[in-house]
Amino acid sequence: MSNAIESRLDAVVFDCDGVILDSAGLKRTVFADFYRDQPPALYRAILAYLSRGGGQPRDVKFHHIEAHILGRPISEARIRALSNQFAERAEAQVAQAPTIAGAIDFLDRWRGKIPLYLLSATPQKELRRVIRRRNLTDYFDDVLGAPPDKTNGLSTLMATHHHDPARTVMVGDSYNDYRAARSNNTHFVGITSSKAKPSPFPEDVITQSDLSHLEETLASMEISS
């Protein structure tokens, strides 16, 4: 199985929240807490948006909620202030979140054998602090946060390291992760750890509930050798 992966893969690129750390739901809760005083209908609309808005930078989410759901006038200063408050509330909690089942086993087995990357919508400095606090930095060839968005970040990563998209796999838990992979013509594995909501992915996407069987999934994928 080892040769089936090493000989055919240029890189595996992981999202962080919901893929390496079990922190996606935690972050949605922190977002929702900003708006608990809203009327029920608006609050439900915010929750619905957050449930499908994974993989987007937080300033994009705040902009959408403030402008398109609440109809508030917005400014760069307002969005920046909300984003800073979010970081203050969320970072310590994310740093203590458990890892997704199978993540450490996979990273332990494959670091140094194939290039492994972390690509997140979390601001880069914050992301690297969290990963450093969790002693995960050495598992990855690089840890990359926002900006840019996932699509451009994945494109830049592959161009910088000369990875062939046809031999690269993105592992993510949101439709935005899938869209980044599709836009860059890479392979994709979807993580659908939440049993409380339907999969955000098209029916033909390979999915699994955690990383316990990622090695077998990668070995079985049709990847150019």
SS3 34: coil
The whole-number pLDDT of residue 54 equals 75
Complete edge-to-edge strand list for the sheet that includes strand 116-123: 142-146, 116-123, 11-14, 168-172, 187-191, 207-208
Extract the tokens encoding 33.
């807490």
Domain 2-23+98-220 has CATH 3.40.50.10890: no
Q: What is the pLDDT of residues 102-154, one digit of tens each?
A: 999 999 999 999 999 999 999 999 999 999 999 999 999 999 999 999 999 99
- Where is 199: in which H helix or E strand? none
Q: What is the pTM of this model?
A: 0.91
pLDDT in single tens digits along all 225 residues of the chain: 667 788 899 999 999 999 999 999 999 999 999 999 999 999 999 999 998 877 788 999 999 999 999 999 999 999 999 999 999 999 999 999 999 999 999 999 999 999 999 999 999 999 999 999 999 999 999 999 999 999 999 999 999 999 999 999 999 999 999 999 999 999 999 999 765 568 899 999 999 999 999 999 999 998 876
Extract the tokens encoding 154.
């994945």
N-term to C-term CA, the chain: 14
The whole-number pLDDT of residue 2 equals 66
Q: Strand 142-146 to strand 168-172: parallel, antiparallel, or no bridges (unpaired)? A: unpaired
Over pLDDT 70: what percentage of the chain? Answer: 97
- Where is 28: in which H helix or E strand? helix 24-33
Cβ(36)–Cβ(44) below 8 Å: no
Give me the residue spans of the domains in the chain. Answer: 2-23+98-220, 25-95
What does the alpha-carbon distance between residue 36 and residue 53 come to, in Å, rounded to a whole number?
18
